[in-house]
Structure 1
Amino acid sequence: MQQFLALTSPGIEILLAQELKDLKAEQVVQKPEGVYFNSTIEHAYHICLYLRLATRVLLKLGEGDAANKEQLYTAAKSIAWSEAFSVDKTFAIDFVGTSDEIRNSQFGALTVKDAVVDHFRELNEERPSIDKSAPQISFQARLLRDKVAIYLDFSGRGLFKRGYRENTGAAPLKEHLAAAIITRSGWLDDTTKPLVDPMCGSGTVLIEAVLMAAGYAPGIDRVQWGFDYWLGHQSEDWKSAKSAAIEKSHVGLTQLKTKVFGIDLDSRVLKTAQQNAKNAGIQRFIEFSCKNASEMKNAFGPKGTILFNPPYGERIGELPELVECFALLGQKFKSHFINWRVAVLTANVELLAMMKMVSFKRYKFKNGPLDCQFAIYNLDEKQVASSNVNAEFEQKDSAFANRLLKNKKNLKSWLKQEQVQCYRLYDADIPEYNVAVDVYADHLVIHEYAAPAKIEPEKVAKRLQEVVYFAPKVLEVPTDKVVIKTRSKQKGKDQYQRVEQSKKSMVVDEYGAKLKVNLWDYLDTGLFLDHRKTRQIVAKKAKNKSLLNLFSYTGSVSLQAALHGASTVTTVDMSKTYLSWAEDNFLLNNLSGHKYQFIQADCLQWLKNNEQKFDVVFIDPPTFSNSKRMGESFDVQRDHVSLITDGLKSLAEGGELMFTNNKRNFKMDFDAISALGLNVQELSDKTRDKDFQRNKHIHNSWLFTRKAN
């Protein structure tokens, strides 16, 4: 009788322990690191062939003290390695665990490897070769509380890989986790009842379910095993165990009376699922259809199980459609699937609340690095009676929805009169809903501000989902045109950070100007909405005059000035990307020629060196920057006087300098400004348009002119 250790993912251990007991393993003991069991080698072959819930099975070779390197080496040296594998076979050592003396796995593995090599050398044999990527035989040393146990990787890595998956969807579910949620769902208690996966992806859940219902041994399709080159391998016993498993599995499929159903919106993924089912030899048991899960009808029969692993919205841009989908699914389940069971695995637990159902069981699992919950619902008469089946979330009950609707009505006449296409509708008006909602033509951008640490993450997520649910409904915007961005205070970085790289863009209109905006790739979109009036003020001042636009970003101020008839426009920014964007904006409006200059430079240094004079100078610096290319840090509160001083050097006689920033509680140094011989006029109120009247701190604006001599 030998001791083994079966490994699996967190949350599955208790199910694996029961599976091992059902397979007649002896002395099964569940521990945090895995499930220990005893078995003969002959029976261990049978166990490996049938295990569905394990990722690997290890055979214990020995153990010993390992408080330090010397003890670890001694323990490893005590193993009769030459009885485990031949010197002409490549090997690898995995090392798991650390201690005060053995602080990383690489050091531990190297120590064990030295013991293996020395063992063979002392037998006057050649040194065996190491192959970390594809060894012929593998071993694992596991360090726990200054003790090391050394194992043969008996099954080989990836025991969950069944061999039928040629391709997977974007977020594949590993087969052993699929088997775990099928087990937890309860469907295996009566596999004659229908099983439906409304978001089946590449079909893993359904394929595993059919194979489990048939009692099919997943190991019979596995080509390589960890014991293939083990000297203790009993090949005849292995052949016998495999032959028996093959015969029993084929009989199980022949006798199976099961029909399961897979639904997915993506036809390409469905083709993959169909091919995977064909590879598994069970395509006749699965009926696939291409449709939206929220539009499915119950044509499957009574009292079945709906089991699915939806997208988690890990990429925040997926949330709008997921939130709406879950709300619709809840209505669908309660109206069309009475007396059914619904089981959902998700890492986005807050999404479950959108279904308006009460779970009777929940289990914790890990899907790769993600913490997940598996929620099970019984759609009995009590569940259905406790909620209004046809009701969506009540808009009248949402403070956020009500405020959004109120703001929309307040801005309606202004929007029509001014023909404003891009505007802010909501800006954290209610502290509990800490977001900003911007409209860009037929798109919606929701900026989620970082919540205070004292607010529980679950509450934050729930409120965001309420925002994501109601915003498109109140504004009648399709969910695929809703973009979500998460903002936090930037420390030591420029605020214009790239978040994705979709390279998507759209063109919007502002007082006749065509402007390219990108709602997807950056935290900011390329158009500062709060500076709408600022752009018009600068543009009117620059008519028939020369304009210098510093820290120009995407050049929207420059563009409006050019369209208003500025004689020359010089646009300066350090970013090549934003300058190119600015040039795109000019081309969109058929503006080109020597009158328009675009200069990539550090604005601070450029100002110090510039000798050209301009009638209008516009400066809109970041609040803070320590960009490497600038060579020095910049703080608008600390450095604004020196920046304005340098700006004056580029200002022509009788010219005007406009200075803006968005630092909250910014304090202008009036004494220093007066010493520069300047008149100063605050324009903050005049540059805030109607949609930003609620936020008095959105930006600060000042106009400087030289005092008359």
Structure 2
Amino acid sequence: MNEHNFFASAPQGLLELLADELRALGATAIRLQPAGVYFRGPLVIGYRACLWSRLAGRVLLEVSTGPARDADELYTTVQRVDWRQHMSARGTMAVDFTGANAAIVHTRFGAQRVKDAIVDQFNAGSGVRPDVAVQRPDVRVSVHLRKPAGHGIKGMFQETSHDEAVISIDLAGEGLHRRGYREEGAEAPIKENLAAGLLMRAGWPALAAAGALLVDPMCGSGTLLIEAAHMACDRAPGLGREYFGFLGWRGHQKALWDELLTEARARAAIGIDKVPPIFGYDGDPAAVKAAIANAARAGLGGRIRVERRELAELVAPETGPSGHVREVKSAETGPSGHVPKITGLVATNPPYGERLGVRADMPALYELLGARLRDHFGGWKAAILAPDLELGHAIGLRAERRHVLYNGAIAVNLLRFEIPREAPPPRTYTRSEGGEALFNRLRKNRKQLGSWAARHGIEAFRVYDSDIPEYAVAVDLYRDWALVQEYAAPSEIDPVRAAARLREALRVIPDALELPAAQVVCKRRERAKGGGQYGRRDDAGDLIEVREGPGRFLVNLTDYLDTGLFLDHRDTRALVGQVARGKRFLNLFAYTGTASVYAGKAGALSTTTVDLSTTYCAWARRNLELNGLRGPQHRVVEAECREFMARELRRYGAIFLDPPTFSNSKRMEGVLDVQRDHVELIRSAVRLLERDGVLIFSTNYRRFRLDQEALADLDIEDLSATTIPKDFARSPKIHKCWRITPRR
């Protein structure tokens, strides 16, 4: 029986477990590498790894190695392989390429040369070549550059420059974490192989064999529940997959694979009745629905109990008089400290990052979890993922073990606890020296700026803007809510330390501003994908009303990057109101129409509000109506502003022009770039001015340069310094503003 070299990839933190798993499957010559495990064995071992490994991401079968000091040598090495033994000329293929050296710097270039070598070999032989298919090809070829001194693929993924190519067939074809039970296209908060690693680290296989229970109090779409059940009932994780990379490979031994499938199905049928009681809870009805559906697709319908339950209602299941396990509703629980008659494992991945967004109430979430564990799960074990140790500390229990795992590119801490039967006193939160300084600065700013804001009738203002560099956030108050905007840290800043500082800031801010943590929302200030300025971030749809000078405005703190009210434009809006008094007013790129409200409240004869977005036009109408500005003299036009100006015949006494820095909306032709296009925009707006009309032009592009020479025939006055509000004094470059009039 021929022996082969294999390589199985896996997330950092799981490699030792993967090595043990492969050893149990019969692999030999096992060696750990930085990104996976090298091993040897006959083809059946590779098949078993694809079918039975709960931790591996890919399984690669080495077919050749050779020199690759430059692109030509790589091409020659790949051509030495007889690709007719591996794929059909009429089939499909894909190429993955990793590693680099002095001559091959870009992986896409390396992949292209590999593809060319394979395709040219087929063209030379028959004139027919395989097509490229990125998704689920018949054969996926993996090529990695390594140091020539390596043997087999044991040297793969070393970080030094490599001059030897390792050519492999990807037996998995796509990530083995794709078990087949998740709804197509649905994303999980935690990958299946990481969930399996968490459970293995927590000792779940032995606990399940002993009849222990499992509870996931924040189960999301049910990944941990399903992986736990499959472990307990001896179901192969790959049994539900329809696709493997070797199925279209010409070296595939179908009879051997079918034999392994038959064995796996028999083991699963025997083990299905061994699934211990597994309970999943989540406060989100959609998550509960998804978990139930995923469990059914995983062959576990009715064997996992999932229900909607808030974390505050979490209690441990009990045994009834006959030993039957039942769930306990929160209303049935006795006094704090009640000890259930049975024990088990609480395993959970509390929501964080993409799943929840960063909120100031996250520490409170972990504190609540710790309190429920102390009060209702005495004697149980717990395994909890935390993005940083500060949140882990908030649980209030002493971790017996800590493991660093990777959920994709995110480093997370797996904390393992033995929950004492006698509940210890909860730990108290103590601010660090930096946290204390942040607390004091927030209190001071809130007192000073709060008095100023109250005198001017302002309910939305900036109270902090990176005053202490280590806490790089901006904090805006919106009445009794706070919006925390995290500035993306430079690449040289340790992301773990940055995350810890943000967590501390989110604990300090509610205390300093005397707000409930649930009323503090955090966002990251960075460009939305695709270059859009106001991209949707959520779907909560909650609006709150705030007062600003003469007007009232609706703001949304959760759904978009911006709230609907640019606070740094407060003085600019007031200027617009003064200029528009007694005149016809035009508001271009109007966003939510706040400048139109100022103009209308100041006594403008009419207001015309123009924006391309249906959402923002509707928002502008609501803002106008909220301020009593109704009727045909206050019109809102949904249009691309450049097209509107080109066809507009009316003239206006005052125009506000505040274009986005960049826009590539699908509803407009081309793109808008304020630096490139501002002269055209300004001239189009000036054309619509009455003889004594005034244009106020503003931009938030910090590197903007007004082309004075191209606009030399206009009178231009720079008002930037005079339009920066008091609460933005620390950010004098946040916007630029000019008063522009035709030269008489």
TM over 0.5: yes
In the alignment, is residue 162 of structure 1 matched against residue 156 of structure 2? no
From 380, 389, 392, the counterpart of 2:426: 389
1:184 and 2:210 are equivalent in the alignment: no
Aligned to 1:115: 121
Comparing 288-297 with 300-309, which one deviates more in the overlay? 300-309
| Structure 1 residues 230-269: aligned runs within 5 Å | 233-254=252-273, 256=274, 258-269=276-287
Q: Match for residue 347 of structure 2?
A: 307
- Work out which of the residue numbers 148, 172, 175 in structure 1 matches 2:165: 148
Question: What percentage of residue pairs aligned between the two structures are identical?
Answer: 33
Per-residue CA deviations over 1:594-637 (Å, capped at 9, x if unaligned) read 5879899999xx9xx999795xx68797999999757756999x
SS of match in other structure, 1:30: strand
Note the 1:178-327 alignment, pairs <5 A.
178-191=195-208, 192=210, 193-228=212-247, 233-254=252-273, 256=274, 258-283=276-301, 285-299=303-317, 301=340, 304-314=344-354, 317-327=357-367
What residue number does 1:372 align with? 411
State the distance in 2 between where 1:232 and 1:131 align.
Answer: 20
Paired position in structure 1 for 2:111: 105
**C-alpha distance in structure 2 between counterparts of 1:73 and 1:455, whole Å:** 40
Q: In structure 2, what is the Cα distance between the partners aligned to 1:113 and 1:276?
A: 40
Q: Deviations over 1:43-75 (max 9, x none)?
A: 554454422222333333333334455654554
The answer on 1:36 being equivalent to 2:11 is no
Change (3 A) 1:407 1:99: closer
1:67-106 alignment runs, 5 A limit:
67-68=69-70, 71-72=73-74, 74-84=76-86, 90-97=91-98, 98-101=100-103, 103-106=109-112
Q: 2:53 is aligned with what amino acid? A: L
Is the CA contact (8 Å cut-off) linking 2:465 and 2:475 kept in structure 1? yes
Aligned length: 675
Residues 1:448 and 2:475 aligned together: no
Counterpart of 2:188 in structure 1: which amino acid? A
- Residue 23 of structure 1: aligned partner: 25
SS at match of 2:95: strand
Q: Name the residue aligned to 1:508.
A: 545
Matched to 1:439, the amino acid is L
Tell me if structure 2 keeps the 8 A contact 1:17–1:30. yes
Report the 3-state secondary structure (helix = DSSP H, G, I; strand = E; otherwise coil) of the residue aligned with 1:460.
Answer: helix
Matched, 1:175 2:192: yes
Structure 1: how far apart are the matches of 2:89 and 2:531? 57
Note if contact 2:400-2:418 (Cα within 8 Å) is conserved in structure 1.
no
Change (3 A) 1:618 1:111: closer
Aligned to 1:517: 555
Cα-to-partner distance string for 1:16-58 (whole Å, 9 max, x where unaligned): 2211111222222233354332223455544544222223333
- 1:198 to partner: Cα distance: 1.9
- The alignment status of 1:333 with 2:350, answered yes or no, reads no
Contact kept? 1:448, 1:485, Cα under 8 Å: yes
TM-superposed CA distance for 1:197, in Å, is 1.7
Q: What residue number does 1:3 align with?
A: 4
SS of the counterpart of 2:359? helix
Task: Determine if the alignment matches structure 1 residue 461 to structure 2 residue 499.
Answer: yes
Residue 207 of structure 1 and its aligned partner are, at CA, apart by 1.6
Is the Cα–Cα contact under 8 Å of residues 331 and 391 in structure 1 kept in the other structure? Answer: no
For 2:93 and 2:739, the matched residues in 1 are separated by: 71
CA distance in 2, matches of 1:682, 1:93: 55
CA contact (8 A) 2:181 2:297 kept: yes
SS at structure 2 position matched to 1:218: coil
Counterparts in 2 of 1:623-638, with a 5 A limit? 629=672
For residues 31 and 440 of structure 1, what CA distance do their matches in structure 2 show?
52
Q: Distance in 2 between matches of 1:182 and 1:526?
A: 44
Whether the 8 Å contact between 2:657 and 2:697 is mirrored in structure 1 is: yes
Flag the 1:115–1:446 CA change in 2: closer, same or farther, 3 A. Answer: same
Q: Aligned-pair distance for 1:404?
A: 4.2
Match of 1:52, SS state, is coil
TM-score normalised over the length of structure 1 = 0.74
In structure 2, how many angstroms separate the alpha carbons of the residues matched to 1:431 and 1:564?
40
Cα distance in 1 for residues equivalent to 2:550 and 2:177:
60
Evaluate the alpha carbon distance shift between residue 679 and residue 310 of structure 1 in structure 2; reply closer, same or farther with a 3 A threshold: closer
Q: CA deviation at 1:389?
A: 0.7
Instruction: In structure 1, give the amino acid aligned to 2:474.
Output: A
Compare CA radii of gyration and give the structure with the larger one: 1
After superposition, the Cα gap between the structure-2 partners of 1:116 and 1:291, relative to the gap in structure 1 and judged at 3 Å, is: same
Higher mean C-alpha displacement, 578-587 vs 511-520: 578-587
Give the drift of 1:209.
1.7
Quick one: distance in 2 between partners of 1:536 and 1:61? Answer: 72
> Equivalences for 1:507-586 in 2 at 5 Å?
508-510=545-547, 513-520=551-558, 523-529=561-567, 532=570, 539=577, 544=582, 554-567=592-605, 585-586=623-624
CA distance in 2, matches of 1:41, 1:199: 40
After TM superposition, give the deviation of residue 525 of structure 1 in Å.
3.2
Counterpart residue identity of residue 417, structure 2: N
Alignment partner of 1:319: what SS? Answer: coil
Counterpart contact for 2:388–2:413, Cα < 8 Å: no
Q: Is the 8 A contact 1:361 1:376 kept in 2?
A: yes
Given residue 196 of structure 2, which amino acid in structure 1 is its aligned partner?
A
CA deviation digits over 1:316-349, x for unaligned, max 9? 8443453432233234334444554432335566
* Conservation of the 8 A alpha-carbon contact between 2:383 and 2:416: yes
Show the counterpart of 2:63: 61
Change (3 A) 1:503 1:279: closer
Contact 2:183 / 2:294 at 8 angstroms: preserved in 1?
Answer: yes
- 1:482 and 1:583 mapped to 2: Cα distance? 28
Aligned AA for 1:51?
Answer: S
Post-superposition CA distance 1:290-329 (Å, at most 9, x none): 2123541234656533222233323784434534322332
CA contact (8 A) 2:478 2:546 kept: no
- Note the alpha carbon deviations across 1:647-705, whole angstroms, 9 max, x for none: 9x9785xx9999999999x9xxxxxxxxx9999999959x957x679989988999999
State the superposition RMSD in angstroms: 5.4
Contact between 2:438 and 2:505, CA under 8 Å: does it hold in 1? yes
SS in 2 for 1:190: helix
Residue 344 of structure 1 is matched in structure 2 by 384
